[in-house]
Structure 1
Amino acid sequence: MTELEQVAAAFDSKDYRTAAQLLKTLLQRMPENPWVQLYLGRMHEVSGKLEAAETVYRQLLRNSLHPKVATQARQGIQRVEAIVKAQRQQAIAEATADPANTELGFLMLAPVTGEARNVAAQNFARIMKLDAYTARMQLPSRSWQLYRTGPIGELQVYGQELRNAQIPVYWAGLAEIEKLRVFRVLHFQSVAPQITVVCHNEFDQVGSLTFEWSEVTRRVEGLLPIFGDVIDQGAWGKLQWKEQTQDYAHVWDLHIPGRQSILRFCDSNYLFQEDAAIADQVTPQTTTRINWNHLIAFLNQKLPNLETWSDFTGFAETTADHIPPLSRIKPQIDIERKAETHWDPAFQLYSALVFLQSS
């Protein structure tokens, strides 16, 4: 009996210790032999190193000219995929057995660039069962991407698999997002000796909040489109009403993690005339844009070198395919609109995800 036959017999009898010893010798003597590589993949498989096993099997399937080796490599891939699928289903079943893990959740992918992108795309394709081209197209390179929604327990399982494969991913449940307190600032009541803002809370109650600049750890910026109807010339010269972006609302969030709170500034509802921070710069003649620029200059002066997140637009564009679950998020934004838009809850989600993944 040859050494290769001895290895095969050891695997057939599930004598994996003997198989490992024989395989170690064969790998030293003939590492490129396709049968040796096949048994290496098998050893990875029975040892629970499923990713390594699949890698070996796929290399054999691509490179081996031996029909029997290719057939067994293909069968090995099928076994590994079946094991991974069963493990994932079991993990999801265990996770969602807890009612708290059946609530709505959101899973977001962070950009992957440079040399890491090739490996990440391969792992992404393997985990999400995509072809290589689709995986590269779906893996973001510039902005965060809302990739999947569903039961938070299920998203945690996928998220952990992706994270283990060095793919940057974050997830959060709706309940976790709703725990964050968002205060919609109307104006600064005082800036010295105490810093106090007048604001609406999540229940639309007006009150005041006093804080220190040192409590603020980051800011999140966004532009929210303001839509309007215009007359447009359609087919055959027929005039028709068409919705288009006419302006943008500027939104700034200041995160105060020590209080699990967000201070939200929006130029659409800000009371510049009553603001203590820029009172000497506001006149009845100054425009909202000029007043907003004065306010931002004041905040930048008080909060220099603050960690800033400003790629909201790219993220928001990826949320259009998730409007039903997104609509369950309360936007906490005061913009007068004729109809609801996914842009408002998208900003709330974006800011909340930044808050939660950074805390």
Structure 2
Amino acid sequence: MFEEIASAIAQQDYNTAHQLLNTLKQKYRDHPWLLFYTAQIEQANGNIETARNTYISVLQSSSNRKLLWQAREALRHLESSPRQQQNYQSQEALGEDELAVFVLSAVPTEEKKVAAQTLATTFQIDPYNARLQLPSRGWRLFRSGGRQELLHYSKVLQEANIPCFYLPLDTLESLYVFQVQYLRCEGETVTARCSLSNGQEGSLTFPWSEISAKVTGRVPIFEEILTKNNRGKKQRKTEILDYVQLYDLHLPKRRAILRLCDQKYQFQHSFPLTEQIQKGETLRRNWLQLLQYLEEQLPNVITWKEFTIFGESAIAFPQLLSGISPKINLQRRYETVWDAAFHLYSSLVFYQAESS
């Protein structure tokens, strides 16, 4: 019901968002989601005090966990801005302790021995296993738990110069994720034709310069096959049949992720690539052409390529991942937690860049 408003705000089309709000207010006058989007529009228009009070009203009137988290995050960002730090003190997280994830970053080999001792003492595990947990490159999903608990651990390890961070899982819901059907580019301007989670289609136009990060990775497609065991007896076995290629573009000003997928991308509509992509070419060749084009347009934007390393640690938390909406609209016979692992990885990249 409110997805069109969220889409308009993500595109910074505040006039349309305001019109949609006024229409819905006639039927849902005091709905908490309408208050939240009203606050976002007020904030975008520079009415900081009004936005702040409206966010607080949402926190006082709603019991929806998703909405509460988005309002808390919006209020936190509002009050952590340079202008607001002079007027308001940072608040502790409101309400119950949210579920969060704790991530270890790469540690140089020569520092692992000392780091492992600190990790072992902090989490009460043996030093040998602690050393195995410290990644040599990329990120490792090390633990999940309450936000306050993981905040404490991150402070302890960071004081010992062990790179790590934590992120409350509800934060993922504050991002807008758009499934890209195709891109059309004219000079410095890009228009992405997208589909929303409810199946509605729309367009998002932005300059290349707005993209802050690129995240690439692949997730497996599982299929059941018929094989023979050592005794020659037939048996069914689930194996990886192929991989789905994913490529995210981050737009921090809009708090949005554009998600490209080789299985869903409409290459024939992707100007100016339509001249290079020929009918009959393999999907892989077309996908590589697209990635090469994006790299040429965004040579100075960091590409995060170490999803597989992170994913191998993340799938050890299947219950955690099963609670994450992966935002990958693929119809497959067998679902996999790898989808949620990729969405988590890309979101971690988004928020780490924001906090740095």
Compute the TM-score of the two structures, normalised by the length of structure 1. Answer: 0.70
Secondary structure of 1:318 counterpart:
helix
Q: Distance in 1 between matches of 2:331 and 2:162?
A: 39
Q: Distance in 1 between matches of 2:145 and 2:200?
A: 32
Instruction: Mark the structure with the bigger radius of gyration.
Output: 1
- Following superposition, the deviation at residue 156 of structure 1 comes to 1.3
Q: Distance in 1 between matches of 2:316 and 2:252?
A: 30
- Following superposition, the deviation at residue 231 of structure 1 comes to 1.6
Percent identity over the alignment is 40
* Residue of 118, 130, 149 corresponding to 2:125: 130
Question: How many residues are matched?
Answer: 263
* Residue of 274, 284, 299 corresponding to 1:289: 284
Counterpart residue number, 2:113: 118
Secondary structure of 1:102 counterpart:
coil
Q: Distance in 2 between matches of 1:153 and 1:214?
A: 36
- Following superposition, the deviation at residue 217 of structure 1 comes to 1.5
Aligned partner of 1:168: which letter? Answer: P
CA contact (8 A) 1:101 1:151 kept: no
Q: Distance in 2 between matches of 1:277 and 1:151?
A: 48
Counterpart residue number, 2:301: 306
Unaligned runs of 5+ in 1: 1-96
* Residue of 276, 287, 290 corresponding to 2:271: 276
Is 1:254 aligned to 2:249, yes or no? yes
Counterpart residue number, 2:193: 198
Q: Distance in 1 between matches of 2:93 and 2:294?
A: 44
Counterpart residue number, 1:24: none
- Following superposition, the deviation at residue 98 of structure 1 comes to 5.5
Secondary structure of 2:316 counterpart:
helix
Aligned partner of 1:317: which letter? Answer: E
- Following superposition, the deviation at residue 339 of structure 1 comes to 2.1
Counterpart residue number, 1:155: 150
- Following superposition, the deviation at residue 193 of structure 1 comes to 6.7
Aligned partner of 2:350: which letter? Answer: F
CA contact (8 A) 2:181 2:265 kept: yes
Q: Distance in 1 between matches of 2:188 and 2:155?
A: 47
Aligned partner of 2:128: which letter? Answer: Y
- Following superposition, the deviation at residue 114 of structure 1 comes to 2.8
Secondary structure of 2:317 counterpart:
helix
Aligned counterparts, 1:203-214, within 5 A: 203-214=198-209
CA contact (8 A) 2:189 2:208 kept: no
Q: Distance in 2 between matches of 1:292 and 1:108?
A: 31
Secondary structure of 1:209 counterpart:
strand
Q: Distance in 1 between matches of 2:341 and 2:287?
A: 22
Counterpart residue number, 2:210: 215
Aligned counterparts, 1:1-359, within 5 A: 100-192=95-187, 194-359=189-354
CA contact (8 A) 1:107 1:155 kept: yes
Aligned partner of 1:139: which letter? Answer: L
Aligned partner of 1:206: which letter? Answer: E
Q: Higher helix fraction: Structure 1 or Structure 2? A: 1
- Superposed CA deviations along residues 103-158 of structure 1, whole A, max 9, x for unmatched, are 22111111111322222111111111122212111222233111111222221122
Aligned partner of 1:333: which letter? Answer: I
Unaligned runs of 5+ in 2: 1-91
Q: Distance in 1 between matches of 2:124 and 2:217?
A: 34
